Amino acid sequence: MFKGLRKDIRAIRERDPAARNSMEVLLLYSGLHALIYYRFSHWFYKHKMFFIARFISQFARFCTGIEIHPGAKIARGVLIDHGAGVVIGETAEVGEGCTIYQGVTLGGTGKDKGKRHPTLGKNVMVGSGAKILGPFKVGDNAKIAAGAVVLEPIPADATAVGVPARVVRQGNKKVTQDLDQVHIPDPVSQELCKLLMKIEALENRVKELEDSRN
């Protein structure tokens, strides 16, 4: 247990330039505190003592502002930076070396049983406010931009941005986007085009009426 705790502390010191020493991290970092509470609650969850597990997780939420379901699987060396508003669901999995910023949600969709939350590979970075929703995997070393909403799998070494998120970089190469408007229609653009055509037709009609009066 203490070996794992040292690994968590070391991960924070390596990736957070504001961390001055191990004692400061241990006593003052809410992200680390949330993980410590999670380790205890997860132990009770695995031993089917669900009420105690949930009680600990809710107490941790009250103390840290971070909600981690005791059923989640979180590896060592994870950094939850600042952490306010972070939510990690019951069947979510977080790989070793991941970095999660404030406001991130690893959530599910619908009320289906079984696996319904995302899996993060190793060394994934999830920017502040990002939402990853659904039972798919985000590959190793991927980066999710702040505010992105991820609804489908992200390959390893990729960078995803936007709502919904799309891959803009794979490894060191920029990903070109297919802008074929025939096979991949944009419904908002189509409706705007229809409105513009109607407005143009009305303007022409008004002009014709004015010309006829003159």
Residues 82 and 147 in one domain: yes
Residues 103 and 200 occupy one common structural domain: no
Residues 127 and 168 in one domain: yes
Query: pLDDT tens across 42-65, in order?
Result: 999 999 999 999 999 999 999 999
Same domain, 169 and 204: no
Same domain, 185 and 114: no
Is the entire prediction scored with pTM above 0.85?
A: no
129 and 190, same domain (yes or no): no
Domain co-membership, 55 together with 156: yes
202 and 154 belong to one structural domain: no
Full DSSP string of 14-42: HH-TT---HHHHHHH-HHHHHHHHHHHHH
- Report the alpha-carbon distance of residue 195 to residue 189 in Å, rounded: 10
Identify whether residues 208 and 153 lie together within a single domain: no
Quick one: which of 148, 122, 147, 153 has its CA closest to 135?
153
Using pLDDT thresholds of 50, 70 and 90, give the confidence band for residue 120: very high
Let me know whether 191 and 103 are in one domain: no
Q: Of 25, 42, 41, nearest to 33 (Cα)?
A: 25
Give me the pLDDT at residue 109, please: 80
Q: What is the largest CA-CA distance in the chain?
A: 91
Considering the chain, what is the average pLDDT of its residues? 86
Residue 174 or 27, more confident: 27
In the predicted structure, residue 110 carries a pLDDT above the cut 80: no
- Residue 206 sits in the same domain as residue 141: no
Name the band, by pLDDT with cuts 50, 70 and 90, for residue 175. low
Domain that holds residue 85: 2-174
Q: What number is the average pLDDT over the span 133-155?
A: 92
Give 190's pLDDT tier (boundaries 50, 70, 90): low
Query: Could you tell me if 122 and 200 lie in one domain?
Result: no
H helices of 16-141, in order, are 22-28, 30-46, 50-64
Structurally, the chain folds into a number of domains equal to: 2
Q: What CATH number is associated with residue 151?
A: 2.160.10.10
Do residues 81 and 16 make contact, with C-beta atoms less than 8 angstroms apart? yes
